[in-house]
Amino acid sequence: MKKFLLVSVIAVSMIIMSLASVQAADTGFKFGYIDLQKVMALSAQGQVAKGKMQAKQEELRGIMQKKQADISAMKEELERQGMMLSAEKRKEKETDYQKKVRDFKIFVSDSEKDMKAMEGDFLKKMLKDLEVVTTEFGKKGNYQLILEKRSGIIYAEDSKDVTDELIKAYDKWAAKNKK
């Protein structure tokens, strides 16, 4: 795995160096790079997705707090009445308590899976849309190459960062193509 990563970094570096030399030789060659995380965080669609995720988290947090309160109340009641209850009734209440604890753990696990799935769905949709927007942006701007900052770029001039322009293009595209 480390060898693959090293080979990948070297290959990307060689491509960038060759592109830089091509750009020096051919003034018509134009490339840029984007910071995908910044696009997702600052674009209008990214903000919408973030808001929906936070709303869902708050909803789930409220449900979890209520379930925890119910479990705590059930435990306190069991501890208070434990000595006064018959062995059969005590066992029944302990079983109900353990079932609620298990159900709570399952709910937490399912909630985490749902949140990851929701995040994955937003990410997948945004990446699909960004592919279209980046292609249009690249063609309009006469770019021959647009790279993603975190996928192997070790250094590039700040002037080659087209992230902010892409965010504007994405927001404009999203407003025009609301689904």
Q: What is the pLDDT of residues 122-176, one digit of tens each?
A: 999 999 999 999 999 999 999 998 999 888 888 888 888 999 999 999 999 999 9
Question: Which amino acid is residue 12, in one-letter code?
Answer: V
Architecture of domain 2-176: 2-Layer Sandwich (3.30)
What are the boundaries of each domain within the chain? 2-176
Burial call 23-47: b when 16+ CB within 10 Å, e when fewer: beeeeebbbbbbbbebbbeebebbe
Q: What is the pLDDT of residues 15-55, one digit of tens each?
A: 665 555 544 445 678 889 999 999 999 999 999 999 999 99
Q: What is the pLDDT of residues 91-136, one digit of tens each?
A: 888 899 999 999 999 999 999 999 999 999 999 999 999 999 999 9
Q: How far apart are CA 35 and CA 71, in angstroms?
A: 45
Q: DSSP 3-state assignment of 84? A: coil
Q: pTM score, two decimals?
A: 0.68
